Amino acid sequence: MTHVARGHRALGRASSHLTPDQEQSRSLDLSHNYFPDMPLEMTVNMTSLRRLDLSYNELSTVPMVAQSLPQLRELSLAGNPITSLTNTTMIGGAQRLKELDIRQLPLNFFETGAFSKMTSLRTLHLSPFKGVRHFNIPQVILSNSGLRQLHVECHEPPGLQDEMNGVLPGKVRNITMSGEQLRTLPHNLLQGVRSPRLHFVVRNSSLDVVPRSVFQEAGWVRNLTVDVRHNRLRTLGNPSTADFPGLPRATFLTDLQVADNHWSCDCDIGWVEVWQRKKRQYLCGEEDSEERTTCRRIDDDLRLARCANKNNASLIEVLKADVECGWGSSAGGPGVTTPLVVITGIIAMFANI
């Protein structure tokens, strides 16, 4: 794909002309300029354009080019002074978008059906728009049955409990939370997930803890991967609600990335060392397999993670050598299957007497 960047005030406020290279490109970056609008004549010869980045300009409305470019599949409008999205905003070519970025817009009006005609949408980046009364993300994306990736960036002090309350489209399998104003996560954050597989990411936040209750509410998820790199986290609740993979109505963590945080290495995170052993036992596969490669990558990440309360020693080495939490800590408490195994053994013992 041909990519041309003219961002960061390269074109200036007055310019409305594109170079021949830009007109022939399939990806165009016009971010961080001063465009108050995007005249249709600017893109009249850009019928092959598939990706357009108009973020951080001075656009007050969604430009008509979003509707007129027939091959456009990715559009970023983040950081513009757009205050309204209606049912007629994203029509025409915009209906064929696969990825849309509307983070950090000062919206005060959002019509519930604004995305209803965007049947091709697969990835959506947005913010919890505090200026919109009763803004609810599951309601906004109710008609987007093909949506797979949802990214919520918090740029205002959040309370996400109401914004994330509801059932998400059934194919949403990747949820990313980010933003320096993200300081807490509501317990119902993942309650609306209906996919049996979920990749959960927290990035560049101000969180110091991801509580276990967040994962306990993800009742439909069976296989969970978690990536919480590049935050300020001190502790992470155990995402697994099962002692091993494959249990019905239970979640097992299959992948974990935790480097670049401020971990407090104690029994609150001691489950990681036990989970690592279970991962090797059940999921690492044969030598040279893809599963074994993933396991090696997880091991490397755990060695890179550092304990802020242990002189920045390696997290996994501290958990192995200095923290004694026991097998039960692997589920943040007794696993649902352990008591059943013990009881069954006792019954069998007495039956043979």
Check: CB of residue 54 under 8 Å from CB of residue 79: no
- The model carries a pTM of 0.87
pLDDT at res. 338: 42
Over residues 217-260, the pLDDT tens digits come to 999 999 999 999 999 999 999 999 999 999 999 999 999 999 99
Quickly state the pLDDT bin for 34 (edges 50, 70, 90): very high
pLDDT at res. 350: 43
| Of 294 and 182, the one with more pLDDT | 182
* Total residues belonging to the chain: 353
Quickly state the pLDDT bin for 328 (edges 50, 70, 90): very low
Q: How many helices (H) and strands (E) does the chain have?
A: 9, 17
DSSP string, 55-70: -SS--SS--THHHH-T
pLDDT at res. 293: 86
Average pLDDT, the chain: 86
Q: Do strands 223-227 and 252-257 pair parallel, antiparallel, or not at all (unpaired)?
A: parallel
pLDDT greater than 60 at residue 352: no
Q: Is the torsion defined by CA of 155, 220, 197, 230 positive or negative?
A: positive
pLDDT greater than 60 at residue 315: yes
Structure-token pair, residue 72: 């456009």
Quickly state the pLDDT bin for 74 (edges 50, 70, 90): very high
All structural domains of the chain = 27-39+50-275 (3.80.10.10)
Q: Which of 236, 175, 246 is nearest to 211 (CA)?
A: 236
pLDDT greater than 60 at residue 326: no
DSSP string, 190-224: TTT---SEEEEEEEEE--SEE-HHHHHT-TT-SEE
pLDDT greater than 70 at residue 37: yes
Over residues 140-161, the pLDDT tens digits come to 999 999 999 999 999 887 679 9
Over residues 267-314, the pLDDT tens digits come to 999 999 999 999 989 988 777 788 888 898 999 999 999 999 999 999
Cα gap 107→93, rounded to integer Å: 22
Least confident of 17-31, 179-193, 339-353: 339-353
Work out the average pLDDT over 13-20.
Answer: 51
